[in-house]
Each structure stands twice: as structure tokens, then as C-alpha cells.
Amino acid sequence: MNKIRILLTMAILGIFLASCGCMDSSETQNKGNEENNRALTITDSYGREVVIPDKIDHTICVGPGALRYLCYLEEQDTVVGVEDIEQWKESIESPQRPYRIANPQFGDSEKYPYIGAFRGKYDAESILTLNPAPDVIFYTYSNAEDADKLSSDVGIPVVGLNYGNTGDENMKQSLQIMGKVMDREQRANEVITFFEEEITELNERTKEKETPTAYIAGISYRGSHGILSTQPDYPPFEYVNVNNVASGVSKTGDWEGYQVGDDALFNWDSNPGIDYIFIDLATHEFSENGNTHTNEKYGIDSFATGGVYAELEAAKNDEIYGVMPYNWYTTNHGNVLADAWYVGKVVYPSEFQDVNPQEKANEIYSFLYAESSVNEDIYETMTDNFGHEFGQISFE
């Protein structure tokens, strides 16, 4: 009888323990599910509070530059669809934007379906058919109202970003916001620090030197332009303390660019003088009928013998050099830095003796796209596609 009681007691105890074990397991599982489903609230660049999943596995980017920032943060593998610009024929056959060179996979329309036209003209129906669906959408060059509309149209959290200029507060804030969303805050801070240190070093090398004068010709903006298209706050000049003769120019026309008059270069050549002329290499694609934004007359050949501007001192002294365009689906920040190092090498040769501009450019791109499928020789690919590299421009 005692044996029976003992057996019954053990059985009841076993059931009780098993029951407790089940409860513990269930509680643990429920806790795990709660953690997996936990939401994160962030404030985007437009001041909107956006609730996003705690873990982001899939993304899309709408608007100029958003995809570039995601590549900076080494999250290109989360992308599940792209804008049409990434799959234009020239983007596939001769890409000219460094992030696109670094990520040739974006040209595969089967793996990366269409989400809309470039410049943020998204297609809600296409986004809704993505499989897998994005957990979050990054949206640039927009506003709070439009971001709310996109989110409402597709039922996906939208994080708005102010893209910014190279190294400015908008750029830093956008990288930090994206870093928080993607759990890449450390990488975001590394990228921010990289730009800060590069700009600081460029300035330190040149801040107490005799200041040369220069003109930047043919600045591209929404397409290529003639040599009278310029920029008064050209960052590569500012970083190395070059006196930009066009610093007082105002925006003209309705294309949001800066266009100088026919006589401006002659006037500047007389006072203060133009020591160097740098030409945005996108000008190689310019023709008189090649851009609808302005009625432009002068291409790069205007500096050649017999050209309208052949008598400028810089033209007569062969002080004309090519720099890479950086306004290509908004600012390519890596190109800005690479151009600055090259400008420094040209105008302050003794202070930049240790610098090989081509190697420096590849060093910049290798850092920015460290985890991309292509992270070497990006400079060579880009200049091959532009038809010119850093160097003097010869008209012979």
C-alpha cells in the first residue's frame, strides 16, 4: 500500500513539474514574441514621429540620394526594389554614380523590381506588389505631408530625410536617423567622422598658404551644361581655400543653377585674375542643343585655340583641368572629397606631394562602399565612362 502511495505521489509530482515546465516555456516564448514584435519610434528629418519595427530586414529608397546613404551604411542587401534610374541603359552599361558602380546588382530587374520613376515619383501599386515587402521606406527631397501620403498609400512606415550638402548638419542628421532605423548607428558615426576628418585635413594643409584664384566651369545640374554654368560655393575650392572668382554669382533662370554672362570670364581675368580653370567633366556631354534648361552657347572647345575664351590667361598657360561631376542624382559626396584632393594637388603641389589623386579617390570609395560587391577601382570605372580623368585638358 505504501508503495502505491509513493508511486501515486511521484506521478502527481511529475505531472506538476511537467505542467510548470510547460508554463515556463510558454512564458519564455511569449516574451520572445513580444521582443520580436517590439516597435521603435523615431523622429525623422521632417519632424514626424514614425513607428517602425525594431528589426528591419527589407527596405526601399525613394528620391535622390536615399539609396546612396543606405549603401554608405552597408545595408544595400536589404533593398527589395529600385527606381527606374538604377536600371537605365547607361546605368547598367556605363554607370557614373559611385554607389551604382559599387552595386551592379541593382541593374537586375528580376531581383530588384521597379518602384517608380526617379526623383521620387513612386508607384504605389508597384510597391504593394513587392515580395518580400519592405519594412520601411526612406524618402528624400520631400516634406512631411508627402511622406504621410506615401505611408498611407502603401501602408508602410516612411522615414523622411533631408539629404544635405557634404558634411553639413542635414547630412549628419540623415545618416544618424537612418543609422538608428537600421541599427547601424556606429557605422553612421564612422561615415560622419570620415567626412569631418577629410575636410579638416584639406583645410589644415592649405589654410595659411597664398590663395590662388580659380573658376569652376560647366557645373552639371539636372544634366550637363556649358562652361558658363558655375557654382559660387563650390566645396572643393572652399575645402582647400581657393578664391572662387564666381563667389558672388546669383542663381539665374528657372533651372535653379548658376549661369554667368558672356563677359564675366573676361572681367574676372582682368580683376582679380583667373589662375586656374577647372571643368566639370560632364561638360563633355554638352552640346548647344543638349540641355533644355538654359540657352547655352559655349562648350569646352571655347577654351581651345580660336575659341571665344582662348585668350584667358589660364587657357594660354594650359592651366585647365578636369574634375569629376558630383551632381548626379543629387550630391555624390565621395566625388566632392576626391575633387577637393585633386584641386589641392594642382594648386598647392608642395603641400600635396604625398597625394596621388587617383589612389586617394579609390581610398574614399573603398571606405564608403566597403561591403558592396564592387569596392575597388571605382574611380577608373567612373572616369572611363566620363571619357576623361583627373588631369590637364588638352585641345590638341
- The residue ranges of every structural domain in the chain are 39-194, 210-392
pTM across the whole model: 0.87
Superfamily of domain 210-392: Nitrogenase molybdenum iron protein domain (3.40.50.1980)
Q: DSSP letter for 339, please.
A: H
Give pLDDT, residue 210. Answer: 87
Distances (CA, A) of 129 to 133, 166, 319: 8, 35, 54
pLDDT digits (tens), the chain, 396 positions: 444 444 444 444 444 444 444 434 334 333 334 444 568 999 999 999 999 999 999 999 999 999 999 999 999 999 999 999 999 998 888 888 999 999 999 999 999 999 999 999 999 999 999 999 999 999 999 999 999 999 999 999 999 999 999 999 999 999 999 999 999 999 999 999 999 999 999 999 999 888 999 999 988 877 778 899 899 999 999 999 999 999 998 877 655 678 898 899 999 999 999 999 999 988 766 554 445 555 677 888 899 999 999 999 999 999 999 999 998 899 999 999 999 999 999 999 999 999 999 999 999 999 999 999 999 999 999 988 887 889 999 876
Q: Look at residues 224, 220, 217 and name the one whose alpha carbon lies nearest to residue 260.
A: 217
Label residue 120 left, alpha or beta by phi (over 0 means left) and psi (-120 to 50 means alpha).
Answer: left
C-alpha R_g of the chain: 27
Rounded distance, CA 86 to CA 76, Å? 13
Superfamily of domain 39-194: Nitrogenase molybdenum iron protein domain (3.40.50.1980)
Q: Look at residues 218, 348, 201, 190 and name the one whose alpha carbon lies nearest to residue 287.
A: 218
Query: What single string gives the DSSP state of each residue in 119-141?
Result: TTEE-HHHHHT-SSPPSEEEEES
All cell numbers assigned to 50: 514614425
